[in-house]
Amino acid sequence: MQKVKDKYFKTLIPAVDIQAKVTEIANLLNTDYADKNPLLIGVLNGSFIFLSDLFKCMKIDCEVTFMRVSSYESLRSTGKVTQIIGLKEDISNRHVLIVEDIVDTGQTLVNVKEQLAKLKPASLKVVTLLNKPEAMLKPLPLDYVGFKIKNDFVIGYGLDYDGLGRNLPDICVLAD
């Protein structure tokens, strides 16, 4: 049991299982994107640890950048999605992989995909470490998914609770 701010969390996915899954996803990408020089775009802040581990397992030519959206506050999604910020790269004709920490309602991703699609990438696919299928508002193609989890609040491995808990090596879930 781990106390973060005023709440207790317990391990849901241990670090060793996360690393195995990250390697598995990277291997798929190494095959699917060989000779495509994909651009991996991390959605900040939550994806930075996942993307960093994933990137280290990539054996093909590939590039990385980050962008930001703000749509989530504290324990629940606000549903309000603002525009994407901070993407300086020209993504036209590039093979783009959006890298997310978690797809919850899917609102963020719908918005990000819409905006990136306008910039005319050669292809646009999604990699997410976590997905909460029960929370998704409408079906959305997720091309590479690490773990499907229940509709519970999780932290660790980049995910926060009010800014804290991102540094936990395991993915942890709110204990009741």
Burial 17-32 (b: 16+ CB within 10 A, else e): ebeebbeebbeebeee
For residues 21 and 57, give the distance between their C-alpha atoms in angstroms, rounded to a whole number.
11
CA pair distance 128, 119, nearest whole angstrom? 21
Does residue 71 touch ligand 5GP according to CB under 6 A?
Answer: yes
72 is an interface residue for ligand 5GP by CB under 6 A: yes
Q: Please state the closest distance from residue 110 (CB atom) to ligand 5GP, in A.
A: 8
Name which of 106 and 146 has its Cβ closer to ligand 5GP: 106
Our answer to whether residue 101 is catalytic in this structure is no
Cβ closest to ligand 5GP, residue 60 vs residue 66: 66
What does the alpha-carbon distance between residue 149 and residue 75 come to, in Å, rounded to a whole number? 16
Site for ligand 5GP in 92-131 (CB under 6 A): 100-109
CB of 120 to ligand 5GP, least distance (A): 24
Contact predicate 93/119, CB 8 Å:
no
Q: How far is the CB of 1 from ligand 5GP (least distance, A)?
A: 18
Please list the alpha-helical segments (H only) found in the chain: 15-32, 48-56, 107-117
Query: Which of 49, 54, 97, 154 forms a contact with ligand 5GP (CB under 6 A)?
Result: 154
- The CA distances from residue 75 to 62, 72, 92, 159, 166, in Å, are 34, 8, 36, 11, 14
Are residues 95 and 37 in contact, defined by beta-carbon separation less than 8 angstroms? yes
Among positions 22-51, residues that touch ligand 5GP (CB under 6 A) are 46
Please tell me which residue in 53, 101, 104, 160 is annotated as part of the active site: 104
Binding status of residue 4 toward ligand 5GP by CB under 6 A: no
Whole-angstrom Cα distance, residue 7 to residue 11?
14
CB of 34 or CB of 175, closer to ligand 5GP: 175
Contact positions vs ligand 5GP (CB under 6 A):
46, 71-72, 77, 100-109, 153-155, 159-160
The residues that are catalytic are 104
